[in-house]
Amino acid sequence: MRFAEFTPYDIVLLLQGLGVTVGLFLITSLIGLLVGVLWGVVRFYRIPVLMQLVTFVSEILKNSPVLVQLFLVFFGFPAFFHVNVTPVQAAIVTLSANTAAFVYVIAVSSIESIGRDQVEAARVFGLSRWQVLRHVIAPQAAAFSIGPLTALLVNQLQVTSLISVIGVLDLAKIGATLNLRTLKPFIVWTAVGILYYLAAKAVASLGAWAEKRLRAHSAFRGL
């Protein structure tokens, strides 16, 4: 086998892998946010059976390794149910579900942090449960949750590196391939680490900006 030097074109390959990583991260984060918030609403309305089911599923997802979940979705379910699942499909399902489980915890904590007196006062003024959720709870819960959500999304961005083990050509997978081809682990993994850092820094900065805006909007401005 002939080994080659690390070249500028390899940076292009890494950037392409970064594009795959960021794309999957955005898709799974959006799905996870929507599902997790929906689960939180189920908990808020205390819907029988559904509430217990959501709590059970979230507990399993939170307390089991993501890699095991990924293998189960990619290898286990297809073999048991006799269906075909592509690496990208397995990655989307696994990361979305895992994100939803933690978003659910954050949503529940944010909702419960709001004083019960505010909910009771809103009901006294004739607001329905949906109006209370939309106009009283949701704005404050969003302001409370943006910090933990940002930390979660930064972590989930790093978790995406696990999908390389099932063949998804993300940043980590291309980095491993280049490492085998060049035998320059210090250069390759330094470049991969820098790209992950820049992506995570962008997510953290966006979250900090959103938190600042939400808290400024919800702050008491006096009479």
Q: What is the pLDDT of residues 115-134, one digit of tens each?
A: 777 777 777 777 777 787 77
Structural domains in the chain, CATH included, are 13-218 (1.10.3720.10)
Q: Which residue has the higher pLDDT, 169 or 213?
A: 169
pLDDT tens digits for range 73-99: 999 999 999 999 999 999 999 999 999
Residue type, 177: T
pTM of the model: 0.88
Length of the chain as a residue count: 223
| Cβ-Cβ contacts under 8 Å for 2 (sequence gap 6 or more) | none
Cα separation, 75 vs 84, in Å, equals: 10
Q: Work out whether the CA dihedral 92, 93, 99, 103 comes out positive or negative.
A: positive
| Contact yes or no for 43/108 (Cβ under 8 A) | yes
Reading phi first (left if > 0) and then psi (alpha if -120 to 50, else beta), residue 178 is in alpha
Q: Do residues 58 and 101 lie in contact, with contact meaning Cβ atoms separated by under 8 Å? A: yes
**The one-letter amino acid at 34:** L
